[in-house]
């Protein structure tokens, strides 16, 4: 049995464990809400709901979630990044079983068709993907950063990020200055450019995770001293890119309708994870014409299946409509706080005070993202591993972008999505 098979199996088990854990996290939140609803219906006004951490289901879920992340981290030491990044979609298959047996959800025909596409896509990816699993020394990893192909790829990645960020800012300006509903172009382009920037930078965490896993494997075989400047640099880069991805993931869900942003996030993350591994580790060298065609076909099947798994439009509209009043109150409160912060920064002539205000906003965002990622908020995303594809629910209102006014995105969360 080759090392790549071991890595693939570990990754599959890890992805399933992450998905199972996040379903248990969601079940813990559901139990907490059900207990609160029962006490409210009985007229118990003095009832104070317990923290979700007091529920055993949630505690077991966080253990599975942590174990799955550890397994996914280990898997990168044994198999190609392009293969493992694509295999992360296997959690969509396991999610159907867990949703049916654990959460008692009804499985629609559309979901079954989407799962079939994902399964066949993974069969193509595993059969025709990169089956090599070399162990690189730190010197080899450092040398790969100066490889001409990788340098050109990084330059193109910077251009893609800058261009899409410019599109996003332009769209923000147009929407904020427009008194009428925006057209289909900006309703699609704004979340698309947001997802591209998030996936291009956030997926780099997978590259750094594979490098760390590779060095850890060398350390265990006594061929490398883990304590070095390169190791700590990779750890720092991993934390920065992973933190960026988690913050953008949570903030994007609060800004855009899940029916479009969810598959965009998932496809962008997978695509850039595969491309980065292809170029940095030069995994493309083992591909001939047939393997390239089959691998691209497998990716297409997976992306098509992910697109079909987007939340149902009517359900999304119902949820958004039922919580419109609550969202408006939250937005007014947070916008008021934002205006107070801005006033404080403008009235003060001190540069230090201005920096403190901005740092406070960043820390609040980071705290909210971490809490949501671990299922500690009132709402939780369905999965938030930086080493597996993000599976996010359409009902995520616990985190709002502090630096953004959501009122200008109202046209992006209407029933007009059905016209796309």
* Gap between the Cα atoms of 372 and 327, Å rounded: 17
pLDDT surpasses 50 at 175: yes
CA distances from 372 to 48, 261, 366, 379, 397 (A): 21, 18, 10, 7, 10
Q: Are 190 and 168 in contact (CB under 8 A)?
A: yes
Q: Which residues contact 234 (CB under 8 A, 6 or more apart)?
A: 208, 211, 212, 215
Q: Are 99 and 309 in contact (CB under 8 A)?
A: no
* Gap between the Cα atoms of 28 and 380, Å rounded: 11
* Gap between the Cα atoms of 48 and 9, Å rounded: 44
Indicate the average pLDDT of the chain: 75
pLDDT surpasses 50 at 219: yes
Coil vs helix vs strand at 5: helix
Task: Give the pLDDT band of residue 380 (cuts 50, 70, 90).
Answer: very low
Which of 60-69, 211-220, 397-406 has the highest mean predicted lDDT (pLDDT)? Answer: 60-69
pLDDT top residue among 64 and 29: 64
pLDDT top residue among 251 and 234: 234
Q: What is the pLDDT of residue 107?
A: 79
Q: Are 401 and 256 in contact (CB under 8 A)?
A: no
**Global pTM?**
0.71
Mean per-residue pLDDT for 291-309? 87
49-63 confidence digits (pLDDT tens)? 777 788 888 889 889
pLDDT top residue among 46 and 385: 46
pLDDT top residue among 44 and 369: 44
Q: What is the pLDDT of residue 162?
A: 95
CA distances from 276 to 109, 199, 247, 281 (A): 35, 11, 21, 8
Task: Give the pLDDT band of residue 130 (cuts 50, 70, 90).
Answer: confident
Backbone dihedral angles phi then psi of residue 65, each to the nearest 5 degrees? -65, -45
Kindly report the number of other CB atoms within 10 A of residue 130's CB atom.
24
Coil vs helix vs strand at 92: helix
The contacts found for 287-290 with CB under 8 angstroms, 24 or more apart, are 287/130, 290/128
pLDDT surpasses 50 at 396: no
Give CA 107 to chain center in angstroms: 24
């Amino acid at each position: 049995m080759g090392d790549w098979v071991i890595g693939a199996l570990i990754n599959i088990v890890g992805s399933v464990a992450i998905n199972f854990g996040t379903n248990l996290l969601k079940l813990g939140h559901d139990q907490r809400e059900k207990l609160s609803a029962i006490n409210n219906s009985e007229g118990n006004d003095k009832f104070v709901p317990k923290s979700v951490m007091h529920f055993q289901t949630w505690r077991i879920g966080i253990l599975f979630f942590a174990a799955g992340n550890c397994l996914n981290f280990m898997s990168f030491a044994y198999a190609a990044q392009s293969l493992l990044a694509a295999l992360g979609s296997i959690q969509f298959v396991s999610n159907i079983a867990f949703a049916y047996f654990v959460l008692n959800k009804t499985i629609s025909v559309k979901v079954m068709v989407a799962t079939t596409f994902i399964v066949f896509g993974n069969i193509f990816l595993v059969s025709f993907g990169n089956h090599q699993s070399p162990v690189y020394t730190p010197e080899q990893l450092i040398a790969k950063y100066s490889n001409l192909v990788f340098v050109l790829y990084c330059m193109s990645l910077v251009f893609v990020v800058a261009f899409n960020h410019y599109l996003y800012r332009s769209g923000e300006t147009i929407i904020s200055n427009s008194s009428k509903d925006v057209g289909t172009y900006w309703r699609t382009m704004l979340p698309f450019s947001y997802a591209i920037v998030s996936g291009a930078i956030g997926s780099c965490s997978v590259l750094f995770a594979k490098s760390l896993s590779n060095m850890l494997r060398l350390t265990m075989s006594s061929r490398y001293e883990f304590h070095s400047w390169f190791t700590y640099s990779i750890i720092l880069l991993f934390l920065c890119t992973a933190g960026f991805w988690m913050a953008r993931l949570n903030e994007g869900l609060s800004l855009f309708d899940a029916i479009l942003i969810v598959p965009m996030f998932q496809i962008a993350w997978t695509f850039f994870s595969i491309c980065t591994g292809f170029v940095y580790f030069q995994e493309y060298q083992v591909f001939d014409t047939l393997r390239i065609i089959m691998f691209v076909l497998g990716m297409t099947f997976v992306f098509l299946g992910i697109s079909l798994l987007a939340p149902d439009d009517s359900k999304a509209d119902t949820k958004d409509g039922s919580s419109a009043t609550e969202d408006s109150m939250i937005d007014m409160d947070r916008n008021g706080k934002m205006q107070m912060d801005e006033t404080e920064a403008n009235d003060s002539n001190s540069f230090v005070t201005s920096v403190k205000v901005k740092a406070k906003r960043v820390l609040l965002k980071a705290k909210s993202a971490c809490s949501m990622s671990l299922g500690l908020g009132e709402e939780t995303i369905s999965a938030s591993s930086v080493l597996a594809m993000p599976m996010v629910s359409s009902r995520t209102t616990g985190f709002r972008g502090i630096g953004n006014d959501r009122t200008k995105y109202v046209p992006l969360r209407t029933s007009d999505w059905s016209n796309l």
